[in-house]
Each structure stands twice: as structure tokens, then as C-alpha cells.
Amino acid sequence: MAGGYISGRCRARCASRALIVIDASVWISAFLSTDRMNARAGVWFGRERMRPGWSPRIPAHALAEIAGAVARQTGDTDQGVNAASRVSAMPGIQIVPVDAELGEMAANLAAHLRLRGADAIYVAVALRHEVPLVTFDTQLAERSFGIVEVIVP
């Protein structure tokens, strides 16, 4: 899928968003130089991090997703741990705890939208905070359409 906004909302308004939820797929692509989306992720992060008030949210489980994926792809445990540490130390980042209420919301979304469990948590966080979801995951973007605003860098 080409970069853009699939929620049907206007590109100009969406582009000015500083409060967002970023799916692990975007973080992972940014950390893996061999990933086919690495350049797009780098350009997107470079631009977005300059926005005034930039304050991305991630559910707490995203750190495990990022660390595991980077370690698996590189074969290097330290790179995985370092990637998760860099995300959690990023200025403006908000790590959202996955509590029982969020878990129940995610379970409902997973069942209704036929999402993977981890993906449903990203949608639940975006829905709870009323902010767009940024992802490279085509299935997540398509199945979340109409529930939350989705941005594909």
C-alpha cells in the first residue's frame, strides 16, 4: 500500500497531528536497515519528530514486539534490547499500560474486526485516546478502517 491516509479524512488535517499511536511495524522498519520500509520509516520519523508537541503513544507491549522482532531479524539480542530502550527513552513518548479495561476493549475489537490480539491493543489505545493509528501493516490498516483514523507513512 502506498503511503497516505486511508480513513477518508483530509490529508492536510491528518498531517498536522502530533498525538498518534505508532504500531510496532513502523518502529521495526526504522530500526532494521534491511527492511523494505526502512527508508520510508526514516523519512516519516524525521519529519514527524520535528512537529511541535509531538507525543506518540505506544501500548506497553510494543516494547516487547520491537525488541523481539529486531533481535530475530538481526540475530543480535543486544540490538533488540537497544531498540526497545531507544523507543522508551525517546522524548515525548507515552507508554500506555495495558490494564484490564484496555484488555477488554482490545478483546472486543479483536473479535469484531478479526484482528490479531497485539494489533487490537494498538486500535484500542488509538480509540481510547481518540488519536490516529500509524502503521505499515496493511491488514491492520484495512480492518481498523472506520473505527480509528489510520495513517500509512
Task: Identify whether the C-beta of residue 13 lies closer than 8 Å to the C-beta of residue 52.
Answer: no
Q: What is the pTM of this model?
A: 0.88
At residue 2, the pLDDT reads 42
Fold of 4-152: Rossmann fold (3.40.50)
Q: What is the pLDDT of residues 38-92, one digit of tens each?
A: 999 999 999 999 989 999 999 999 999 999 999 999 999 999 999 999 999 999 9
At residue 6, the pLDDT reads 41
Residue 39: C-alpha distances to residues 16, 89, 136 (Å): 21, 22, 13
At residue 17, the pLDDT reads 73
